[in-house]
Structure 1
Amino acid sequence: ALADDVLIKEWPLFKKYVLGESKIPAKYREMIGLAIAANTRCPYCTLFHTAAAKLHGASDDELQEIYFLSSLSGRWSTMLFAQQYDLEKFTEEVHKIGAHLRK
């Protein structure tokens, strides 16, 4: 179990940033949390953020999309890392893609 002083210090932060008002709407905040939980493979966080996202109105279709989108981070990160893809080159490519999409 957590020591009492840990919970005392953590609870106000959790309440403020997870349960409180934010510039990010609660549904989106929980969907972000779910994507992160999926990537870190945390069953506790996945359960919590799935339930919280549903509580805040996330549909099953939205959750399915989050599952897919969150899988991209792990997959592409693995492929780029395994190839030792140059970070500066990748940065340039991302900027070019952004410039093209803004046209």
Structure 2
Amino acid sequence: MPTVRLLADDEMPPESRAVLDDIRATRRSDFVNNFWRALAHDPKTLRRTWESLKEVMGPGVLDPKVKELIYIAVSVAHGCEYCIHSHTAAARAKGVTEAELMELHAVIGMAAETNRLVTALQVPVDEVFQVR
């Protein structure tokens, strides 16, 4: 259950509608997901978040598929069901296969297990791994 009402386009402040128009233009799609509709209550946060997301997820050194896989991994680590689903859909749209997703989940599970073990055992970081 949402904690805020999801706004339809005609219920938003003009500043929020302008951001949604940019989302549509940038993504070349009429679909605007619920995350943006929830943020539309606060045009400043909506714009800041969209501009940051556009910058980080836009063209860069990392392949777009890799960025989506990282987003999924962080979303799993943080337990964000919404982000897991939306970025899995985005990853599939960028060509990520079921086999790649399954391998990603195996890596996430392994990292979670070894992270817990090393934390519980308080294993000191090897000197060779430290940047000097």
Same fold, TM-score > 0.5, yes or no: yes
Distance 1:9 1:93 in 2: 40
Residue correspondence of structure 1 range 1-103 to structure 2 within 5 A: 1-2=38-39, 3-18=42-57, 20-87=58-125, 91-92=126-127
Runs of 5+ unmatched residues, structure 1 = 96-103
Greater C-alpha Rg: 2
Report the count of equivalent residues.
Answer: 91
RMSD of equivalent CA atoms: 1.8
Check 1:53–1:10 CA distance in 2 against 1; reply closer, same or farther (3 A cut).
same
State the AA in 1 paired with 2:51: P
Runs (4 or more) in structure 1 with deviation over 2 Å come to: 91-95
Question: Deviation at 1:35?
Answer: 1.2
TM-score, with length taken from structure 2: 0.62
Could you say which structure has the greater relative contact order, defined with CA pairs below 8 angstroms and 6 or more residues apart? Answer: 1
Q: Higher helix share goes to which structure?
A: 1
Contact 1:27/1:58, CA 8 A, preserved across alignment: yes
